[in-house]
Amino acid sequence: MPLASSRGFSLVEALIVLAVITTGLLALAAVALQMTEHVAQSRRHLLSAWLADEGVAVHSRRPLAATAADCLLRDVAGCLETLDGHGRPASTAPALVRRWRVARVGAAPSPAWSVAACVLPADRRATAGTSPVGACVARVVHEVWP
């Protein structure tokens, strides 16, 4: 009977166990990092949707007037505001851009209006192209005449 078999693990066996444990820990770390990124992305999407909904609510209460047709797709004066990462107005280094569009969809005496708002990251607003990147909310508002 060899003497080595009664003394425990060999160096090769210990290295194999260490490699398996290290691989498992690295896999767990990668999953934790991925979950952290998903949570942060979900937070950004939720904030964008909430700010878009807030924009629609604010612009639905004002006296309604039609805006330019491409207000949601590009920066147009009068239907754009810049926000910080918490949704507060920011004039320098904005994190988010909120755009809105108001369009008449009905005729007098009781016209309806489409009010839409989109919130997107400020650094992606130039590359939004033909469809905005971020969260958008739209509502139909009926104007009631006294």
Classified as helix, coil or strand, 32 is helix
pLDDT band with cut points at 50, 70 and 90 for residue 85: confident
Looking at residue 60, what is its pLDDT?
Answer: 85
> Rounded to whole angstroms, how far apart are CA atoms 67 and 58?
15
2 found inside a domain: no
Residue 140's contacts (CB-CB under 8 Å, 6 or more residues apart) are 105, 112, 113, 114, 115
> Rounded to whole angstroms, how far apart are CA atoms 60 and 144?
12
133 found inside a domain: yes
1 found inside a domain: no
Judged against a pLDDT cut of 60, whether residue 145 lies above it is answered with no
Q: Give pTM, 2 decimals.
A: 0.71
66 close to 102: Cβ distance less than 8 angstroms: yes
Range among 26-35, 50-59, 68-77, 124-133 rated most confident: 26-35
Average pLDDT score over residue span 40-66: 88
Can you list the positions of beta strands (E) in the chain?
80-83, 96-104, 112-121, 135-142
Average pLDDT score over residue span 119-136: 73
**Domains in the chain, number:** 1
Domain extent at residue 135: 9-142
Looking at residue 61, what is its pLDDT?
Answer: 82
Classified as helix, coil or strand, 143 is coil
> Rounded to whole angstroms, how far apart are CA atoms 98 and 125?
10
Cα angle: 136, vertex 51, 61; to 5 degrees = 90
90 found inside a domain: yes
